[in-house]
Chains A and B, each alone.
Chain A
Amino acid sequence: MARIPLGCEPVIGSLVPSKKRDYRVTNRLQEGKRPLYAVVFNFIDSRYFNVFATVGGNRVTVYQCLEGGVIAVLQSYVDEDCCGLDGISEALLEFSICFVDQKDESFYTVTWACNRDGSPFVVAGGINGIIRVIDAGHEKIDKSFVGHGDSVNEIRTQPLKPSLVVSASKDESVRLWNVHTGVCILIFAGAGGHRNEVLSVDFHPSDMYRIASCGMDNTVKIWSMKEFWPSVEKSFTWTDLPSKFPTKYVQFPVFIASVHSNYVDCNRWLGDFVLSKSVDNEIVLWEPRTKDQSPGEGTVDILQKYPVPECDIWFIKFSCDFHYNAAAIGNREGKIFVWELQTSPPSLIARLSHAQSKSPIRQTAMSFDGSTILSCCEDGTIWRWDAVSSSSSSSSSQV
């Protein structure tokens, strides 16, 4: 392990919870036997701030968080190539555990988007490499993006232009899509691209041209689509067949950071800083310092570290609330750590554990204000945690 030179030490948060906020389990759902890999709140449209989507197996499910810890199922979508489900299934959440053959879809990621009219879309992808764009407003499949050569590991939405989604795939590429027109706009791969599976990708919150991606090649790469922006603009008005769109390759990132020495499975922008995590039991906050003269080069200044014990397996993703005040991450043991992101030194808000939550938590979702945390687990359960205001500790949330 390289020695950290003087004057560059990161500030490391302590694992003693500040008890600023406390959370209680208010609900638990068993969605099936298959692992759930992603859960995400809708931050695109303020009407749906309490709506979230989960994926696992061949199923995409849309839920709503109601008062008092109630979770209501709103919609459910099943990829057709799963055998054994007939039209009117008696029980929605009861799964026929069908034989997992090669063709069977297993979704890994889901995100919310919307087309230009504002109709809410659920975009999901998984092992088959096909990205499913579901029009939740009309409860039908809108499009399927075929193009990735292997499984899709993460899809994220551009918050400023929620018709744009970006996907990270095992085929070593990151692709930018327009869900409105169904066009693949850009492919971030090639000479300077990732050299192994891409596991995570995220849009910069304010700089529309920027994305960060990370993956199994242990690097985080920051890409700029500034030069290709005309192409992006063009995608909104494309009326021809989507396959005829002149998709461009972005071969060289503006920055390549070697922050970790193992798989990097999740990265998010925190303003101009980047949060990323590997399998080293911690989330790292660092600042990319690019050199204008020589693209691709630059230095990394590691600012803070957020320890997460027992988080040494890959494909565990963290999530932030809308304002990036806090991040929640699960671990291998089914515990959740809620970190205050933007303080220095970082402080642990809460450490959530439950006697029956033992399975690895693949992803968490924080609601708009951070008062609700959802976690989805390897064993197919969804847990809902609600913040307990210290004044009224025994609130009505616990029925």
Chain B
Amino acid sequence: MASKASPSPSASRSGSLKDASMAKADESAPVSKEIVSVIESLKRHVVDERCVSIKERMDNNRHKLASITSHLQKLSKERRNSWINFADSSLDLLKKRQDDAIGMHSGIGTSSSDKDSDSDQEDSHASTAVLLGTSIPPGKNSVRPIRLPEVKKLPPYTTWIFLDRNQRMTEDQSVVGRRRIYYAQNDGEALICSDSEEENVDEEEEKKYFLESEDYIIRMAIKEAGFSDAVINSLAECFSRKADEVKARYESLTKEEKTSVDSLNVDSEASSLNCFLEKDLEAALDSFDNLFCRRCLVFDCRLHGCSQDLVFPAEKPPPLNRPDLDNLPCGEHCYRSVSKPEKVATDDSPELGDTKDNSVQPSSGSAGTRTSVRKKHTPCARKKAKPSQSESASSIVKNMSDSSDSEIEPQHTASTSHLSPSKTKLGGNGGVSQRNSKRVAERVLSCSKKRQKVVGSDSDSVASGSVLGGDGKLSSSPHKENEDANSSSQKHAKSRSRKRELSIQNLQGEARDGISSGMVTDPPGNNSDVTLRKDDCADGNSCEMALNDNLSWKAFEKSLFEKGVEIFGRNSCLIARNLLNGLKTCVEVFQFMTQGDKRLAYQAGDAANSLGDGYSKFEHQGNNEVRRRSKFLRRRGRVRRLKYSWKSTAYHSIRKRISERKDQPCRQYNPCGCQTACGKECPCHLNGTCCEKYCGCPKTCKNRFRGCHCAKSQCRSRQCPCFAADRECDPDVCRNCWVSCGDGSLGVPNQRGDNYECRNMKLLLRQQRRVLLGKSDVSGWGAFLKNSVVKNEYLGEYTGELISHREADKRGKIYDRENSSFLFNLNDQAGWFVLDAYRKGDKLKFANHSPDPNCYAKVIMVAGDHRVGIFAKERINSGEELFYDYRYEPDRAPAWARKPEATGSKKEEPSHPSGRAKKLA
């Protein structure tokens, strides 16, 4: 150690080493010597610099500290003054005694060597010492000891953190691979426990990166001695690294140098730009996927951890739908309020009918593009489909919505990737017919808008109809449609033709109405593509006009928009308000959306002449992209977890168990990502667990746990399938188990059954009993019950850290030493899990062991997780202490748990007092 500080010995040592090796390898010894001397001088330089820098830092620190301490000194003086001012009346005994002592000392002096107290002791071994009869005789009564009244001491415990739900151990909590020194109080010796191999790994990792000083030496040495293998070799030796490592480092250094020079020239204002807007949403979403727990619906879930495998449900939920909001403009920049005056300005009297239409039917203003309307009303249409509506209107809408459903997906995923080709195309178009572009564009826009409105009115009325339950409005809507068609066809041939197409489409939809839904999806998709393409041909000019607009959309905003469409459907109001607030207005979103359609359709038509092909291609791409990402994430997740490799250890520490059976049937559940009904290869099936609601597989999966249908048994007996399987009921799964929200002031769901309330959801709902912590009658701390309970009542959960068995073994060694155990076997050996309540847990961890307990523990599956519930074994009165059987394995049980004849039981042996024995390193 010491040699490292002084440069000379280390230098000479390494130098001589190098000489020897060099002489063998190189015949040109003088050259290598030169190199060595260069390196040595550089090293010395580095060391010297280090000394100087330390000195400088010490000096700086001293100056700082000097001002601090002088400030403190001032404070201490002020304190004296303030005390004097304050304590005019009250006496300060310490001060008084101080004065007394001084007075006595000066009065008596050294002559009266009447050694006060410990004269005999002094005599015994210090009489001849330097010592000096200087201790003054204090007046004996003046310093008689003052008694400190006794205060009851607490039973020993380690500071612990309350947990209301289990947590998975984070890596930094692990004791595996960490050296831990035990201090055995009783025998006064220290024991070191470590896994030596694992420690070595750490050190190797440490050496990987190069330090600044090393970089410096590499650079300077090569600069002075030239770039040659000999130099590299001697450098490598000097750093005790590999030669190729040094070489690679040098190359990267020179590269860095170059780039740093270059970057100086490069404009620096780029960095000043608002950088977060430039970022892709992907990165943000990636962290969302990583941090958000889809099982607990919280960020940074401590139980399931980050980087979970992403499970995409096979059944997608329909996009959010709020029909009541659809009719009103969302704000002053709403596309609805903006598009109206625009229309009036551009279109002349023939359009009056149109505006009238608007006024008559305010609901028609709700439309986004055609597809958006459909999209929005998808759920309504679906709902409608059940009661077998024979109205044509409803079937149209239904069909449309079906088609839009199938088509929207690929649009989102594809729109960004195909941006560039559409742009070039648009440019060409614009050049040809630039003269009348604006006029035409606007007219086309307005008419297409009108058409959308027509459709919108349809679906709106369907929506309202479905709400009201009446059909009167539905029948009227086709008429209106016709009217609209008429009015518009007078002026605009194009729009009429499109109208016709639309009706054709509708007919098609009608025709296929009876066909199974799976079949329906594809052909309407094609149809819509046809119409979209036509749209686009006509509206190419308008696209060109808005191209500038499109450019101003940043990648981040675009991807936000895409997500918005996924969430809200094609509703520009909601997207603008919720996702692009402050960035884009509703109108801008709306325009972007319509352009996006056009671009897409253009692209679709372009890419493949056969539309079906193009469509399927889109779908393909979209799917691929999704799949790729999820795989990427999955890999990331696994890498992190892989740091814990399972290693069996011979030693098993004592742990609490639920039952005496060796094999516990419960296995850890991990949601599967199957997209179809699970077969033999489903991970859940292979693992021996049921599929749960968190799995990707559809609800029809045969491996799913179906929940119970209990009506009156209240799920408290083994007749309830949930109860029999040691599971809690789940309101999402079980048919009759429901939960009312709050205190009922917000309304209670319709009661199913007769006043039936499921009693098998106590852990899920956290309906635990009040448990008190107090001094145990038996040993140490104990858990007590506040209010009396009846038999089999749920008392609370035993929470703690979820740790692997391997970790548990390591920790167990520590805990056994302290003769306390908070380990609880949770489920099988296949991975995690032992519960450890040592540092984190709840009050029930203090419940003591008893061979004749009044409680029992039970592992219950709650929403995919195993949890330990403590239940009353018999009626327990208020204030009674809680005991349960730890069920230690007989051969490992500690002495106090082994003897059933002992009165009561002990968990923590009182620690024996002993002085601090010395501990040798």
The yes or no answer to B79 lying at the interface (CB within 8 A) is yes
Stretch at the interface among B134-142, B633-641, B885-893: B134-142
Alpha-carbon gap, A140 to B840, bound state (A): 38
Whether, in the assembled complex, B143 has its beta carbon less than 8 Å from a beta carbon of chain A, the answer is yes
Which of A35, A48, A70, A90 meets B136, CB within 8 Å? A70
> Is A92 within 8 A of B117, CB to CB?
yes
- A171 close to B159 (CB less than 8 A): yes
Is B211 touching A5 in the complex (CB atoms < 8 A)? yes
Contact status B144-A263, CB under 8 Å:
no
Q: CB of A97 within 8 A of chain B?
A: no
Q: Confirm or deny: B57 has a beta carbon within 8 angstroms of a beta carbon on chain A.
A: yes
Contacts of B1 in A (CB 8 A): 1, 12
Q: B125-162, CB under 8 A of A: which get 1 and which 0?
A: 11001111011101011011111111111111111010
- How many A-B Cβ pairs are below 8 Å? 343
Which of B88-96, B425-433, B570-578, B663-671 faces chain A?
B88-96
**CB under 8 Å from chain B, chain A span 207-240:** 216-218
User: Taking A69-B134, A398-B130 as contacts, is the C-beta distance between A76 and B50 under 8 angstroms?
Assistant: no
**Please, which residue of chain B has its CB at the minimum distance from the CB of A193?**
B159
Q: Does A81 contact B (CB under 8 A)?
A: yes
- B267: Cβ under 8 A from any A Cβ: no
Q: Which residues of chain B are near A30, meaning CB under 8 Å?
A: 118, 121-122, 126
Q: Give which listed residue, A75, A173, A270, contacts B159 with CB less than 8 A.
A: A173
Q: Is B58 an interface residue (CB 8 A)?
A: yes
For chain A, what secondary structure do more than half of its interface residues adopt (helix, strand, loop), or is it mixed? loop
Residues 162-173 of chain A, each 1 if its beta carbon lies under 8 Å from chain B, else 0 = 100000010111
A322 to B65, CA, bound (A): 11
Residues of B within 8 A of A343 (CB): 58
Q: Does B651 contact A (CB under 8 A)?
A: no
- A48-73 toward B: CB 8 Å interface, digit per residue (1/0)? 11010000000110101011111111
In the assembled complex, which residues on chain A have CB atoms less than 8 Å from the CB atom of B224? none
Q: Which of the four size classes fits the interface of chain B?
A: 35 or more
Do residues B97 and A191 form an inter-chain contact, with CB atoms below 8 A? no
With contacts A45-B79, A360-B918 known, is A78 near B212, CB below 8 A?
A: no
In the assembled complex, which residues on chain A have CB atoms less than 8 Å from the CB atom of B126? Answer: 28, 30, 356
A172 and B161 alpha carbons, distance in the complex (Å): 12
Bound CA span A100–B915, Å: 10
Q: Mark B74-88, 1 if CB is under 8 A from A, else 0.
A: 011101101100110
A309 contacts B by Cβ under 8 Å: no
Contacts of A154 in B (CB 8 A): none
Given A9-B50, A66-B102, A68-B110: A149 and B146 interface contact (C-beta under 8 Å):
no
A292 on interface, CB distance cutoff 8 Å? no
Q: Are B132 and A134 in contact (CB under 8 A)?
A: no
User: Chain B residues near A197 (CB, 8 Å)?
Assistant: 183
Tell me whether A191 and B148 are in contact (CB under 8 A).
Answer: no
Point out the residue from B94, B141, B919 that lies within 8 Å of A51, measured CB to CB: B94
Instruction: Verify if A89 is at the interface (C-beta below 8 Å from B).
Output: yes
Residues A44 and B105 in contact, CB atoms below 8 Å apart: no
Q: What's the minimum C-beta distance from B236 to chain A, rounded to whole angstroms?
A: 13
B116 at the interface (CB under 8 A from A): yes
Task: Please name all residues of chain B whose beta carbon is closer than 8 Å to the beta carbon of A398 when the two chains form the complex.
Answer: 130, 132
CB distance from A303 to the nearest CB of B (A): 5
B-contact bits for A338-367, CB 8 A (1 contact / 0 none): 000011110000000010100010000000
Given contacts A46-B77, A190-B161, contact A80 B4 (CB under 8 A): no
**Could you tell me the distance between the alpha carbons of A78 and B144 in the complex, rounded to whole angstroms?**
10
A333 at the interface (CB under 8 A from B): no
Measured CB to CB, the closest approach of chain B to A359, in angstroms, equals 11
- A25 CB-CB contact with B under 8 Å: yes
Q: Which of A221-263 contact B (CB under 8 A)?
A: 249, 251, 261-263
Is B69 in contact with chain A by the CB < 8 A criterion?
yes
Given A11-B54, A119-B92, is A171 in contact with B153 using a C-beta cutoff of 8 Å? Answer: no
Check B181–A262 contact: CB distance below 8 A. yes
Task: Flag if B93 contacts A139 (CB, 8 Å).
Answer: yes
Known contacts A141-B148, A344-B58, A120 near B94 by CB under 8 Å: yes
> Which are the 3 A-B pairs with shortest beta-carbon distances?
A7-B213, A173-B159, A93-B117
* 17 A-B residue pairs with CB within 8 Å: A6-B239, A8-B50, A29-B135, A30-B118, A43-B72, A66-B105, A74-B94, A94-B118, A101-B913, A102-B912, A103-B153, A118-B82, A118-B83, A129-B156, A149-B158, A192-B172, A273-B61
B residues with a Cβ closer than 8 A to A are 1-2, 4-5, 43, 46-47, 49-51, 54-55, 57-59, 61-62, 64-66, 68-69, 72-73, 75-77, 79-80, 82-83, 86-87, 90, 92-95, 97-98, 101-102, 104-105, 110, 116-118, 120-122, 125-126, 129-132, 134-136, 138, 140-141, 143-159, 161, 170, 172-173, 175, 179-181, 183, 203, 206, 211-214, 216-217, 239-240, 839-840, 910, 912-913, 915-916, 918-921
